[in-house]
Amino acid sequence: MRTEHDQAGAGEAPAPKPVKKNYIRPLDIKHGRIDMGHGAGGKAAAQLIEELFLAAFDNEFLRQGDDGAVLALPAFDPAEGRLVMATDGHVISPLFFPGGDIGCLSVHGTVNDVAMSGARPLYLSASFIIEEGFPLIDLQRIVQSMAAASREAGVPVVTGDTKVVEQGKGDGVFISTTGVGVLPPGVSISGRHARPGDVVLVSGSIGDHGVAVLSQRESLAFETTIQSDTAALHTLVAAMLAAAPGAVRVLRDPTRGGLATTLNEVARQSGVGMLLQEAAIPVKPQVDAACELLGLDPLYVANEGKLIAVVAPEAAEAVLAAMRAHPLGQDAARIGEVTTDPHHFVQMATRFGGRRVVDWLSGEQLPRIC
């Protein structure tokens, strides 16, 4: 039998033996759970990132494998073009609800925050805080939903982070996302820009998201056909801006606090009042019935796929038509106008011919709704 030394030749050192790789078993998605090792930065963390997160979010930026992503920006004149950045934390309970989950919600929420400045969203980052013991199959479902929402919106998740906290010191999973977008030259949209005489538009029925989430709460569970309206609104915004350049003064997505709180924010920022028409505000009968059952006012219930626009009066019909031509604005409505009011009140003409003040939300009506 020839020895290793003989094979190498007289006077030569033996050939090095091949190094055996330390293979790891694939993640047991079906039965596995998050443990503290998944957040320790070692082999278990690397495996979780590669087999669950990278498998779902895969794109050229994440494949760089660095602590940060090197990104390309659209060419624009630095004197005119500007970047928009927004961040949002998501702590919704329950994590899964009719029409969505915390994964897609975390994409839609931040894409919409960027879009409400009139910007085109470009990139997202994502940070996960995961509780020890959280089922891997639920985490995979959330991540895959998030990845699908990102791809559908055309806004990739380009960097991220994962941390694990001890059992009992979290509540499943929390997700924070940050978005970056580019604002075209000449676009200036802000809550400060509403003027007396402007028209207030809403892109569809209000309160759907809040009712859908509440229907799954253990203490409040009830039957409903309502689904969350969670959606990315940037393509709707683009259609509105194209229909009447320079005419859209304010854009907001009425999330926590609902329509009422959002309009109060705008009234205060712009130093104006508002007069709404109750009969014009779209509310689905199922949402109205659920709110009556729970003692809630739909005006204060959260939305995740609707926007409010304050538009110059001469362009209101053109913008409204553009909204109704878009899949996410088919039920858009003209619901009021901006008024001169030194007190900055939002008022509403009721169906019975009277008026009432639509005040700010007092306290937390619906905790952990997004």
Is pLDDT above 70 for 139? yes
Question: 165: helix, coil or strand?
Answer: strand
Classify strands 120-131 and 157-165 as parallel, antiparallel or unpaired: parallel
Please check whether residue 329 is in contact with residue 323, taking contact to mean a CB–CB distance below 8 angstroms: yes
| Whole-angstrom distance, CA of residue 222 vs CA of residue 48 | 36
pLDDT tens per residue across span 303-347 = 999 999 999 999 999 999 999 999 999 999 999 999 999 999 999
Stretch 181-199: mean pLDDT: 95
Stretch 132-142: mean pLDDT: 97
pLDDT for residue 18: 39
Domains and CATH numbers, the chain: 33-67+82-183 (3.30.1330.10), 198-357 (3.90.650.10)
What distances in angstroms separate CA 34 from CA 29, 99, 173, one per listed residue? 10, 26, 11
pLDDT for residue 104: 98
pLDDT tens per residue across span 34-52 = 999 998 888 899 999 999 9
pLDDT tens per residue across span 68-84 = 999 887 766 555 578 99
Stretch 162-181: mean pLDDT: 96
What distances in angstroms separate CA 229 from CA 91, 106, 369, one per listed residue? 17, 13, 13
Listed in order, strand segments (DSSP E) in 135-267 are 157-165, 173-183, 199-202, 248-252
pTM exceeds 0.75: yes
- Tell me which DSSP letter residue 54 carries: I
**Percentage of the residues of the chain whose pLDDT score is greater than 90:** 78
pLDDT for residue 211: 94
